Amino acid sequence: MRTGIFITGTDTGVGKTIASAGLILALKARGLNVGYMKPIETGCPVLDGEVVAQDTRFIREVCGIRDDLDLMCPYRLKAAAAPSIASRLEDIHVDLSFIVDQYFQLSLLHEVVVVEGVGGLMVPLNNSEVVTDLILQLGLETVVVAKPGLGTINHTLLTVNMAKMMGIAVTGVVINGFGKEAIGLPERTNPDEIQHFGNVPVLGILPWMKDLDYQACKAPSLLSEFMERVDVNTMLPRDDEQGY
Ligand SMILES: Nc1ncnc2c1ncn2[C@@H]1O[C@H](COP(=O)(O)OP(=O)(O)O)[C@@H](O)[C@H]1O
Ligand SMILES: [Mg+2]
């Protein structure tokens, strides 16, 4: 088995990185050799003269992945903006075939590669391509990470339906951050509505973890919470999947 899974979200900040880390830890706990790729990261601060891709740094530290940074995150852009804009400011062209090439290199090193998207599905990557184009070129299925509360049904169904319309298979939805806000009627009923109207499984509900510290790269309860609450089996890339 040499393949991957693409983690997208309904928005930026919904928990793609946290869900990616949880999935990697859970797959590693099963003995699989897992890699991570964040093809394009924007909003990278410059620290001691180095452009730091923070999601990639978090995953490297929390999941113990040590691949070459240029393979894990080939485009590290400074401006906190969509990749099309951030890359233009630095006079860089985001080339999807280069990303596919880097992904192929990573897939030779690992049994599974978890690829984290940028923002949501319609985020522009260059002058003519958006995230769905990247997913299609990588030939991967996608998991959609969504918020728990009011408004998430609409955002999740928009994302799921757009993926399907573009010909991208949706493995399922992971709801992240349950309990950060008060748990009311929407939080309790959203998963069923999403499953019913989206015709996709909700693979799990990940709680808000008070001990998680993104800046310090600490997530002590992530592995146990992920294994207990998320259906990892369904997220395991299958041999019959297209791609590499
Ligand atoms: N389940 C969670 N428990 C605790 N903190 C979380 C959780 N999910 C997200 N966060 C916090 O919210 C931030 C945004 O989540 P992140 O995974 O980085 O979003 P995305 O990758 O979609 O932009 C994280 O950096 C972390 O600080
Ligand atoms: Mg992220």
Domain ranges within the chain, ordered by starting residue: 3-233
| Closest ligand 1 atom to 212 CA | 4
Q: What's the confidence (pLDDT) of residue 146?
A: 98
Q: Which of 16, 38, 78, 147 is catalytic?
A: 38
Output the pTM of the full model: 0.97
Strand (E) or helix (H) holding 18: helix 16-29
Which residues have beta carbons under 5 A from ligand 2 (an ion)?
16-17, 55
Span 210-230, mean pLDDT?
A: 98
Gap from CA of 187 to ligand 2 centroid (Å)? 23
User: Domain 3-233: which topology?
Assistant: Rossmann fold (3.40.50)
- Parallel/antiparallel/unpaired status of strands 142-146 and 112-116: unpaired
Please state, in angstroms and rounded to a whole number, the distance separating the CA atoms of residues 164 and 172: 12
Query: Does 17 contact ligand 1 (Cβ within 6 A)?
Result: yes
- To test ligand 1's pocket by mutation, which of 17, 40, 156 has the most ligand atoms within 8 angstroms of CB? 17
Please state, in angstroms and rounded to a whole number, the distance separating the CA atoms of residues 139 and 24: 20
Gap from CA of 116 to ligand 2 centroid (Å)? 7
- pLDDT band at 240; cut points 50, 70, 90: low
The 10 Å Cβ neighbour count of residue 121 is 24
Please state, in angstroms and rounded to a whole number, the distance separating the CA atoms of residues 32 and 28: 5
| Closest ligand 1 atom to 176 CA | 1
Q: Is the pLDDT of residue 1 over 90?
A: no
**Mean of the per-residue pLDDT values of the chain:** 96
Asked if 88 and 119 count as a contact pair (C-beta separation under 8 A), the reply is no
Nearest to 40 by CA among 95, 1, 3: 95
The per-residue pLDDT for range 191-206, each reduced to its tens digit, is: 999 999 999 999 999 9
The per-residue pLDDT for range 126-165, each reduced to its tens digit, is: 999 999 999 999 999 999 999 999 999 999 999 999 999 9
